[in-house]
Structure 1
Amino acid sequence: MAKANLTDFPPELLDHITTYLPSARSLRCLGKTNKALHTFVEKDAWQTFARTHFPSLIPSCSPSYKDASRTLTTLSKAWDRRGLVARYIEPQGNIRAFPGNKPVERWKKPRGQTIGYTPQLDVYEDIGSRWQDREETLAFSAGAEVCIRKNKRDSRGEHVRWLTYRPLSAHEGRDDITTLHLLRPEHDGMGGNQRMITGTANGDLQLLSIPGDDSTAVPITYFTTQGQSVRSTSLLQRPSEPSLLAANMGDSRVSIYSVDMSATKIEPLSSIDILAPQTPNGERQRLHRVWSAQLMSPHRLAAGIGPSSEPIHVYNLSATGIDKDPLRKFSLENDLEAIHGARLDQISSAVAVPSTIKKSTSSVYPIVPLPPASTTGGSTTGDVFLSGAYDSVIRLHDLRSKREFEQSYTDPTDDSAIYSLLPRGQETLVAGTSRHSLLKFFDMRMGRKCYIYLDASTPAEAKPTQPSRTKNWNLFLKPTNATYPGRGGGNNWSRRSQESSVYSLASSSPHSPHIYAGVESAVVDLAFTSFLDRHPDPVHFSPWKPAGKGKEDSWRSREVLDLAMYDQSADMKLHTQRSLWATWRGNQNPVGRTLDFPRVEGLDERWRVGSGP
């Protein structure tokens, strides 16, 4: 009987074999075997590899799954090793100010607030015909002003330009922007214009169209708010269908709007007032406030309220508007039966079961739908979502379950309230807190790991060891190099380095290495990469090389922040980052690396234990 070769296998079996390959290196080796397998790998296997190892991070459609796999495997290594380069970002270089479309030599930060401004963020990314060709659009608020960065990458390099918009009559503190959304170009056919929705503390809710040509005026569409302060908004964008906007105004009003690009004024489709329930004597219970309104799907709306024993309300959206009564209310505690996984009458009689269980009272701030896996085609019904509460707990809820929540994410080392949430697919959860400029990172895979970068080691290489380390960790966005002078004009980080809440989080996609965080008076860009990596992902980074005397390297190393982090564990051992130059010098000198800069096993080369020199 003749022996069968791999090339004799049907494509379905080869595809199944691909799912067992542990790394991109092993797949490349398979493609080098012969021409037939090379064709199979290039045509089909890279897509199977990406969807197997990164099911919730890979886009549903990619111009090159081979290049996408390179991006995701490189990012996975940086993420696991906590390799990141952080810096503040603000308009600089090519800046055009609106209205007027005037060039600006230097951007001036807003002044006039009692405390620093609280940035609101949104970002998206357009991928061209090649994986390497893309343009990222980032917008953030700075008091009463909006700053938009267009960052285009292609074969000619990186091209950055800035647009800013500030109403002529705006006053800092009174007209500060409280909500911000970018409209994606594929959803409105806006051509070269950049459309966005902003809400303000003084009750303005507007659709702005920033020109992409030489026009000087900014057309505005107004949403009717009855003058109520806009506290939060949620935008649901759907291709070939009108976008929906949910707005939380005042203390109790939630309204739904259809975003009509051609209208000059938009009335709400439906509104409700979420009021505190009445007591038996007809009086209202303790006054609570609606903190957030989140569109989960075209047919479902969630509201975070509090203080309340049931701080999450979910409503159906029908042709007649928002249903008056909520579809369901969630408390923050599972009942005794759900906790024990048994019926109450099956619990031992030795356990005293109270007739009434007092539910905890708290407030829920952010509510975020859990992103679907790419295998679902990107659709979601809004049944599964995350909430962040004042009690410092993040909860995963499922409307199809009778339980109040399915999973909770808690940090035993810190009990700060949760102000912002950013899930990276279904793998990692990033949370912004109310104190200490603290970001929390939670592994959502509950022990399941799709890709391990250590498996990419060849047999001839000594496979590095990964020390036992908790997968959940905290990062302080307050830099340890707080006296560092900024670029262009001698700014310093003294005010920015004060402790702050993390008010907002954004990333253009689950496969992007950039996470943006809004803290008091600043926006921090966290780029997950190792600057000592000789082969970084070429889509986003180039290898770092030390510049000559008196010159600035392409990474703008002097602008990089040195941060601190620790594991969410009992020992709470603090790790701090060395500067890029100190890390590079220590890496070049084996003696210095051993004595002055000992490496922390399993972490990026910049991390050191404690806060030494």
Structure 2
Amino acid sequence: MAPSTLTDLPLELLDHITSYLPTAQSLASFSQTSKSLNAFVEKDAWQTFLRSRFPSTCPASTPSPKHTARTLTILSKAWNHRAFLARYIEPRGDIRAFPGGRKVERWKPPKGQTIGFTPHLDAYESIGPRWQDRKEVLAFSAGAEVCLQTRVRRGDQEYARWYTYRPLSAYEGRDDVTTLHLLRPELGEASQGPERVITGTANGGLAIVALPESDQSTAALSHFVTQGHPVRSSSILQQPLGKTLLVANMSDSRVCIYPVDAAQSKIAPLDSIDIKPSTSENGQRAKHQRVWSTSFLSSARIAAGIGPSDEPIHIYSLTPSGLEKEPFRKFSLQNDFERLVGEITLSGFAKKSSSSIYPILPLPPSSSSGGSSDGDVFLTGAYDGIIRLHDLRSDRQVERTYTDPTDDSAIYSLLARGQEKLIAGSSRHSLLKVFDMRMGADCYSYLDASTCHLPSSGARREPARDWNLFLRPHSATHTGRGGGNNWARRSHESSVYSLASPSSQSPYLYAGVENAILELAFTSILDQQPDPTFFSTWKPVARGKTDAWRSAEVLDLAMYDQTADMKLYTQRSLWSTWNLKHGHASHASTSLVIDGLDERWRLGTEGA
């Protein structure tokens, strides 16, 4: 009997074997050994690689698993190297202003406020018949105005268009946007239809605004009935085969559920409840307690963040008949044994932790859960600066905490990249915090790839997993071009009010700080083979040339690890990095790689 070869193995065994290949390069090499194995890899193995190495960031479906694997592996390396290009963004170029649909040459930021506007963000992307064909939509608020960008990519071509909407009677400081959501296209809906944005305002407005991509001059409006109560926060539930619902909290205590139907001109709430302040042990109502946030955990559960309270998280059931009037569960911020070993009051009882909850974020699903989420596990950010993981299936109050030993400022915003990384916006110092949620389990690591990606010393070292980034230039000497950018006026400290990313596969992260929006594009300028889905190879361009203004607008930020030594790192400019790499500077021998970081990072202001 002739000996069996690899190609004689059943497909199930081949699939099991390829699941142990650590990198996309190794799987590509495996596919080149024979025609039959190549066919197997193209049909099945790339999808297995995505599910096993990127279980929570790979898309549920993709037109090209091979190209998706390339995007996710390159993006994973950029995140581990902390390689990104940061810019301030605002409407410019092709701008259409509504109402009226007129074209404007230059966008004017809002004026008349005591401080700069507080941005609210949302973003999504849709993928075409090819992985490299996609449309990204970003929306943010600027005072009483909404700005929306559509960015279409077709291979190596990209086209961007901006839309703005500001009600004619809007008044800055009175009608400021307090909550914002982009409606995703429904299944089978044309990708060239109007972009729809839900906005809530401090003056009690709550509406769906449809901004047409055609030459129409009007923006369609659908109004939700609010009885004039100011909109504090909201959350949207958009199901592929179900109803789209909106939950919003009004004033300090009311929570309303609305159906979302842009075909209606006026939308009444399906149900509403009032969350009353909790009663303390002495029978008195808590003073100054209010609802800070509401969020859908699933189609049957809604979470409300209140405070200050020793039980600031309330979970409500949503049934076909409406919202249950009483929460079926309340969460405190510490477990019983933590409270028992904590501070003891004069009366001899352990003191409970009291705080307010701001953002609430359901944990994204993974491939092991079939791509669905039942909302049992969720994250919360609190005034005390601690991010907590809760599980409705557990009797414990808190399953895990994410804390920054170097800063305890309040958590204002949360964003998760699957179940791999958690990004948090803090209330002070323009500080963006990055936490590793893998708890030591690496599904994919760029260090398993070829040695050319290792540090020059050859040592297999990764930077610290948790780190902080200052979202303001460490030098306020830049002056941008186009659209009136003036970076010096935006360099003061701020809270990080909102965070958004089009998807867990996108290299773009957006952050809203006071009076500005920052875009972080995760890529390295020295990468000679960047992901062609999003980027082209960067080359220095002489000043005055076409690309010079884009290079000039890249910010130089600062960051540090969440460790005891707290070393400060700052970014070199693009030109300095290029010159050092290619030996065009007197200190060209300076090592560009610090503990596996991107080449732009330097220790402190070294070599400035």
Instruction: Give the structure 1 partner of residue 170 of structure 2.
Output: 170
Tell me by how many angstroms 1:601 deviates. 2.9
1:367 matches 2:360: yes
Instruction: Give the structure 1 partner of residue 321 of structure 2.
Output: 320
1:285 matches 2:286: yes
Instruction: Give the structure 2 partner of residue 443 of structure 1.
Output: 436
Instruction: Give the structure 2 partner of residue 401 of structure 1.
Output: 394
User: Following the alignment from structure 1 to structure 2, what is the Cα–Cα distance between the partners of residues 477 and 363?
Assistant: 25
User: Following the alignment from structure 1 to structure 2, what is the Cα–Cα distance between the partners of residues 463 and 611?
Assistant: 22
Instruction: Give the structure 2 partner of residue 13 of structure 1.
Output: 13
User: Following the alignment from structure 2 to structure 1, what is the Cα–Cα distance between the partners of residues 590 and 26?
Assistant: 37
> What amino acid does structure 2 have at the position aligned with 1:153?
R
Instruction: Give the structure 2 partner of residue 110 of structure 1.
Output: 110
1:610 matches 2:604: yes
Q: Which moved more, 1:39-48 or 1:437-446?
A: 39-48
Instruction: Give the structure 1 partner of residue 344 of structure 2.
Output: none
Tell me by how many angstroms 1:460 deviates. 13
Tell me by how many angstroms 1:593 deviates. 5.2
1:560 matches 2:554: yes
Tell me by how many angstroms 1:550 deviates. 2.9
Instruction: Give the structure 2 partner of residue 589 of structure 1.
Output: 583
> What amino acid does structure 1 have at the position aligned with 2:388?
R
Tell me by how many angstroms 1:196 deviates. 1.2
Tell me by how many angstroms 1:213 deviates. 1.7
Instruction: Give the structure 2 partner of residue 238 of structure 1.
Output: 239
User: Following the alignment from structure 1 to structure 2, what is the Cα–Cα distance between the partners of residues 460 and 450?
Assistant: 18
User: Following the alignment from structure 2 to structure 1, what is the Cα–Cα distance between the partners of residues 171 and 505?
Assistant: 38
Is the 2:90–2:483 contact (alpha carbons within 8 Å) kept by the matching residues of 1? no
Tell me by how many angstroms 1:483 deviates. 2.1
Instruction: Give the structure 2 partner of residue 466 of structure 1.
Output: 460
Tell me by how many angstroms 1:357 deviates. 2.6
Is the 1:221–1:265 contact (alpha carbons within 8 Å) kept by the matching residues of 2? yes
1:124 matches 2:124: yes
Tell me by how many angstroms 1:338 deviates. 10
Q: Which moved more, 1:43-52 or 1:430-439?
A: 43-52
Tell me by how many angstroms 1:451 deviates. 0.8
Q: Closer, same or farther in 2 for the Cα pair 1:16/1:359, shift >3 Å?
A: same
Counterpart of 2:567 (choices 552, 567, 573) is: 573
Instruction: Give the structure 1 partner of residue 24 of structure 2.
Output: 24
User: Following the alignment from structure 1 to structure 2, what is the Cα–Cα distance between the partners of residues 358 and 421?
Assistant: 28
User: Following the alignment from structure 1 to structure 2, what is the Cα–Cα distance between the partners of residues 506 and 113?
Assistant: 25
Tell me by how many angstroms 1:487 deviates. 1.1
Instruction: Give the structure 2 partner of residue 476 of structure 1.
Output: 470
Q: Render the CA deviation track for 1:534-592: whole Å, top value 9, x for unaligned.
A: 00000010000111453143781100000000000001000000000110001001874
User: Following the alignment from structure 1 to structure 2, what is the Cα–Cα distance between the partners of residues 179 and 5?
Assistant: 61
Q: Render the CA deviation track for 1:240-262: whole Å, top value 9, x for unaligned.
A: 32210000110111111111222
Instruction: Give the structure 2 partner of residue 35 of structure 1.
Output: 35
Q: Closer, same or farther in 2 for the Cα pair 1:370/1:128, shift >3 Å?
A: same
Instruction: Give the structure 2 partner of residue 544 of structure 1.
Output: 538
Instruction: Give the structure 1 partner of residue 81 of structure 2.
Output: 81
Q: Which residues of structure 2 form unaligned runs of 5+?
A: 342-346
Is the 2:121–2:498 contact (alpha carbons within 8 Å) kept by the matching residues of 1? yes
Runs of 4+ with deviation above 6 angstroms: 337-340, 459-463
User: Following the alignment from structure 1 to structure 2, what is the Cα–Cα distance between the partners of residues 581 and 338?
Assistant: 54
User: Following the alignment from structure 1 to structure 2, what is the Cα–Cα distance between the partners of residues 267 and 376?
Assistant: 35
Is the 2:123–2:182 contact (alpha carbons within 8 Å) kept by the matching residues of 1? yes
> What amino acid does structure 1 have at the position aligned with 2:497?
Y
Tell me by how many angstroms 1:141 deviates. 0.5
RMSD after superposition: 2.2
> What amino acid does structure 2 have at the position aligned with 1:307?
P
Instruction: Give the structure 2 partner of residue 349 of structure 1.
Output: none
User: Following the alignment from structure 1 to structure 2, what is the Cα–Cα distance between the partners of residues 283 and 70?
Assistant: 59
Instruction: Give the structure 2 partner of residue 347 of structure 1.
Output: none
Instruction: Give the structure 2 partner of residue 195 of structure 1.
Output: 196
Is the 2:592–2:600 contact (alpha carbons within 8 Å) kept by the matching residues of 1? no
User: Following the alignment from structure 2 to structure 1, what is the Cα–Cα distance between the partners of residues 338 and 139?
Assistant: 46
Q: Closer, same or farther in 2 for the Cα pair 1:420/1:336, shift >3 Å?
A: same
1:248-267 equivalences in 2 (<5 Å): 248-267=249-268
Give the 3-state SS of the residue equivalent to 1:100 in structure 2. coil
Instruction: Give the structure 1 partner of residue 224 of structure 2.
Output: 223
Give the 3-state SS of the residue equivalent to 1:242 in structure 2. coil
User: Following the alignment from structure 1 to structure 2, what is the Cα–Cα distance between the partners of residues 41 and 5?
Assistant: 17
Q: Render the CA deviation track for 1:258-281: whole Å, top value 9, x for unaligned.
A: 112221111111111111123577
What TM-score do the two structures reach when normalised by structure 2? 0.95
Tell me by how many angstroms 1:488 deviates. 2.4
User: Following the alignment from structure 2 to structure 1, what is the Cα–Cα distance between the partners of residues 281 and 23?
Assistant: 63
Q: Which residues of structure 1 form unaligned runs of 5+?
A: 341-353
User: Following the alignment from structure 1 to structure 2, what is the Cα–Cα distance between the partners of residues 61 and 446?
Assistant: 27
1:54 matches 2:46: no
Give the 3-state SS of the residue equivalent to 2:405 in structure 1. coil
Tell me by how many angstroms 1:88 deviates. 0.6
Instruction: Give the structure 2 partner of residue 348 of structure 1.
Output: none
Instruction: Give the structure 1 partner of residue 300 of structure 2.
Output: 299
What TM-score do the two structures reach when normalised by structure 1? 0.94
1:527 matches 2:503: no
Q: Render the CA deviation track for 1:171-227: whole Å, top value 9, x for unaligned.
A: 111111010001111269476111110000111001111122222122211111111
Give the 3-state SS of the residue equivalent to 2:13 in structure 1. helix
> What amino acid does structure 2 have at the position aligned with 1:399?
L
Tell me by how many angstroms 1:606 deviates. 0.1
Is the 1:203–1:227 contact (alpha carbons within 8 Å) kept by the matching residues of 2? yes
Q: Closer, same or farther in 2 for the Cα pair 1:280/1:160, shift >3 Å?
A: closer
Q: Which moved more, 1:181-190 or 1:91-100?
A: 181-190
Q: Closer, same or farther in 2 for the Cα pair 1:600/1:224, shift >3 Å?
A: same
> What amino acid does structure 1 have at the position aligned with 2:61?
C
Q: Which moved more, 1:586-595 or 1:17-26?
A: 586-595
Q: Closer, same or farther in 2 for the Cα pair 1:602/1:232, shift >3 Å?
A: same
Tell me by how many angstroms 1:34 deviates. 1.1
Give the 3-state SS of the residue equivalent to 1:357 in structure 2. coil
User: Following the alignment from structure 1 to structure 2, what is the Cα–Cα distance between the partners of residues 601 and 448?
Assistant: 20
Is the 2:258–2:267 contact (alpha carbons within 8 Å) kept by the matching residues of 1? yes
User: Following the alignment from structure 1 to structure 2, what is the Cα–Cα distance between the partners of residues 33 and 597?
Assistant: 39
Q: Render the CA deviation track for 1:342-362: whole Å, top value 9, x for unaligned.
A: xxxxxxxxxxxx974321110
Q: How many residues align?
A: 602
Q: Closer, same or farther in 2 for the Cα pair 1:389/1:459, shift >3 Å?
A: closer
Q: Closer, same or farther in 2 for the Cα pair 1:532/1:428, shift >3 Å?
A: same
User: Following the alignment from structure 1 to structure 2, what is the Cα–Cα distance between the partners of residues 324 and 598?
Assistant: 60
User: Following the alignment from structure 1 to structure 2, what is the Cα–Cα distance between the partners of residues 512 and 156?
Assistant: 16
Tell me by how many angstroms 1:378 deviates. 2.5
Q: Closer, same or farther in 2 for the Cα pair 1:545/1:365, shift >3 Å?
A: same
Q: Which moved more, 1:209-218 or 1:517-526?
A: 209-218
User: Following the alignment from structure 2 to structure 1, what is the Cα–Cα distance between the partners of residues 144 and 598?
Assistant: 39
Tell me by how many angstroms 1:454 deviates. 1.8
> What amino acid does structure 2 have at the position aligned with 1:608?
R
Instruction: Give the structure 2 partner of residue 386 of structure 1.
Output: 379
Q: Which moved more, 1:248-257 or 1:369-378?
A: 369-378
User: Following the alignment from structure 1 to structure 2, what is the Cα–Cα distance between the partners of residues 551 and 384?
Assistant: 51
Instruction: Give the structure 2 partner of residue 350 of structure 1.
Output: none
1:206-217 equivalences in 2 (<5 Å): 206-217=207-218
User: Following the alignment from structure 2 to structure 1, what is the Cα–Cα distance between the partners of residues 348 and 110?
Assistant: 56
> What amino acid does structure 2 have at the position aligned with 1:405?
V
Q: Which moved more, 1:525-534 or 1:180-189?
A: 180-189
Q: Which moved more, 1:151-160 or 1:59-68?
A: 151-160
User: Following the alignment from structure 1 to structure 2, what is the Cα–Cα distance between the partners of residues 63 and 280?
Assistant: 58
Is the 1:235–1:295 contact (alpha carbons within 8 Å) kept by the matching residues of 2? yes
Instruction: Give the structure 1 partner of residue 71 of structure 2.
Output: 71
User: Following the alignment from structure 1 to structure 2, what is the Cα–Cα distance between the partners of residues 598 and 592?
Assistant: 14
Percent identity between the aligned chains? 61
Q: Render the CA deviation track for 1:387-427: whole Å, top value 9, x for unaligned.
A: 00011100000000000011100000001100000010000
Tell me by how many angstroms 1:379 deviates. 1.5
User: Following the alignment from structure 1 to structure 2, what is the Cα–Cα distance between the partners of residues 154 and 425?
Assistant: 26
User: Following the alignment from structure 1 to structure 2, what is the Cα–Cα distance between the partners of residues 494 and 308?
Assistant: 40
Is the 2:258–2:269 contact (alpha carbons within 8 Å) kept by the matching residues of 1? yes
Q: Render the CA deviation track for 1:31-68: whole Å, top value 9, x for unaligned.
A: 11111111111111111111110000000100000000
